[in-house]
Amino acid sequence: MTASAPVPGRFAPGTFSPRPGRGGLGRMLAAQSALELKLALRNGEQVLLTLLIPIVLLVGLTLVGVIDLPEPRVNAVFASVLALAVMSTAFTGQAIAFGFDRRYGVVRRLAATALPRWLLVAGRLVAVLGTVVVQVVVLGLIALALGWRPDGGVATALLLVLLGCAAFGGLGLLLGGTLRAEIVLALANVVWFVLLLGGGIVVPLATLPSGLAAVAALLPSGALAEGLRIALAGADGSLLQPVLVLVAWAVVGGVAAARLVRLT
Amino acid sequence: MSLPADGPREPTSPGPASHGSAVTVRGLVKRYGTTTALDGVDLDVPAASVVALLGPNGAGKTTTVEICTGFRRADAGEVRVLGIDPAGAPDALRARIGVMPQGGGAYPGVRAAEMLRLVATCSAHPLDVDELIEVLGLGSCARTPYKRLSGGQQQRLALACAVVGRPELVFLDEPTAGMDPQARRLVWELVESLRRDGVAVLLTTHLMEEAEALADDVVIVDHGRVVAHGSPAELTTTGDSQELRFRARAGMDVTELAAALPTGYQAAEPAAGRYVVQGRIDPPVLSAVTSWCAAQGALADDVRITRRSLEDVFLDLTGRELRS
């Protein structure tokens, strides 16, 4: 040390005396997911995607008959919009947020703390689930106001929503964790739009052209929306195929994400 | 600032690393494809000392830090950080160290205090977040999203994140890049305080001034190899490390001047009327120079003896051409 070094004044002696140690796992998980949830609800584009567009579609498609649906229309629309909400949050919103979080170095920043890597991923997923809870509550209240009456299908629907989160969540992490932020932004929005119209979300599989319907039934969007229509709107069909499709996508997306996602 | 968040401080028991070396690196090799980023680097950071890793862009500084913090795996060589193999037990290591990655890192929309609070939660006995924000001059931008902070503000937040967990050892990758002189001064004070409180610091920089002012030891790396190491004083006083500069009438014969001095001394006139003599400058040499000027009928004016700066050493070792 050279003799001309500044005499420390701002930091009292002992301020930095080492006292290392890892924080509590539960507190870390709660702090990370609460912050990510707060950031998602504070971000205008995210709120547009996760709440405003689903709300507009829920109200609009219920009141305006642009798509042929069985009565009461609100049941089928609510099922479609729940599927959209899950896709918007777990896939599109998460992929974009993850892409830009990586760009801004937050993933590496947090990995450099005592936060274990599995907790880093868990925190993101809990934040996604938190957003989905907000969506389900808000959309459910609006659906009630539009005349939807819950029945025994609600429990099944909630299970499907969880499966949808797993399927779309793995794919969202995979997309957001492997490509450059701008490309993630473009791709995640394009995929969202294509699946919204042609992937079995707002237009039921039965109404889609048959070739497209066969493909859509094997996509997470078609499987989740169709499953929700069976559970909530009494649509014909077995839940077995939608559940198997969602589980398969969750496994494929999860394994691929675990192998391919990069932190930087 | 004064006390950590969780009340009065207890005397800290010295950990195993307090007596020995915080970082020991031997023969570190790292290749990216056909490029060799590190080619046998040795490095020691003694406990409670500041070591600067100095080198031009692409010398291997960041790669070294990334291996020491467990973000990359070495192709060969031995690394022990606080007695831990970083590649083998990164989680155990990261609970004891603080890291400032190059360029920092935070959620694009997060506010400084929110980010620092999250990082503080990852530690068992963190410093007080609000005080740290104030003392680092981030209080005025407490509600600004991270992506709209200036580079210097982002750097200060990153620095706060590196020290908030009261680590034993701190890695700072280019801590003052993009900072104005006042902020740089603050960082220097902070590094000085870390050392005073018994924290070891490994920092990378390409600023000689920074290495000279802060470091107990400087390790100069280039092309993935250590080209020199030692204290700033050792590095700048070895060899013909001094020079004598003076002004006098332009156009005097410097070959004659050199001949008037003992062998090994060099004289030059880099600009008209400005002369420089390189070698060990002692009273007889000074006297010989002024006498020689007098013999030419010239007055040696503005005579200065300067120690060779670390920058000169650095440029001599790593070359003067620009690197891409």
Chains A, B: CB contacts within 8 A come to: 174
A39:B105 CB<8 A: no
Closest in B106, B110, B198 to A17, CB measured = B198
- CB contact residues (below 8 A), chain A span 93-132, against chain B: 100-101, 103-117
A20:B122 CB<8 A: no
Q: Which of A55, A59, A58, A127 is nearest to A93 (CA)?
A: A127
Instruction: Bin B166: left if φ > 0, else alpha if -120 < ψ < 50, else beta.
Output: left
pTM (predicted TM-score)? 0.81
Percentage of the residues of chain B whose pLDDT score is greater than 70: 90
| Residues of chain B neighbouring A122 (CB-CB closer than 8 A) | none
pLDDT tens-digit profile of B66-113?
A: 999 999 999 999 999 999 999 999 999 999 999 999 878 999 999 999
- CB contact residues (below 8 A), chain B span 201-220, against chain A: 212-214, 216
Distance from CA of B15 to the nearest CA of A (A): 10
The yes/no answer to whether this complex scores an ipTM above 0.90 is no
Distance from CA of B299 to the nearest CA of A (A): 33
Tell me the C-alpha distance between B303 and B244, whole Å. Answer: 7
Phi, then psi, of A225 in degrees rounded to 5? -65, -40
A8 contact B CB<8A = yes
Distances (CA, A) of B105 to B26, B115, B155, B201, B228: 30, 9, 9, 20, 32
| Residues of chain B neighbouring A102 (CB-CB closer than 8 A) | none
What's the token pair of residue A190? 């394009």
pLDDT range class, residue A68, cuts 50, 70, 90: confident
B12:A12 CB<8 A: no
pLDDT tens-digit profile of A205-263?
A: 888 899 999 999 999 999 999 999 999 988 888 999 999 999 999 999 999 998 998 87
pLDDT at A2 over 80: no
Tell me the C-alpha distance between B176 and B180, whole Å. Answer: 8
Q: What is the mean pLDDT of chain A?
A: 91
pLDDT tens-digit profile of B220-260?
A: 999 899 988 888 878 776 555 578 889 999 999 999 999 99
| Residues of chain A neighbouring B158 (CB-CB closer than 8 A) | 109
pLDDT at B116 over 80: yes
Tell me the C-alpha distance between A158 and B276, whole Å. Answer: 83
Task: Give the pLDDT mean for A135-139.
Answer: 97
Residue A231's pLDDT is: 94
- CB contact residues (below 8 A), chain A span 28-47, against chain B: 28, 31-32, 35-36, 38-39, 42-43
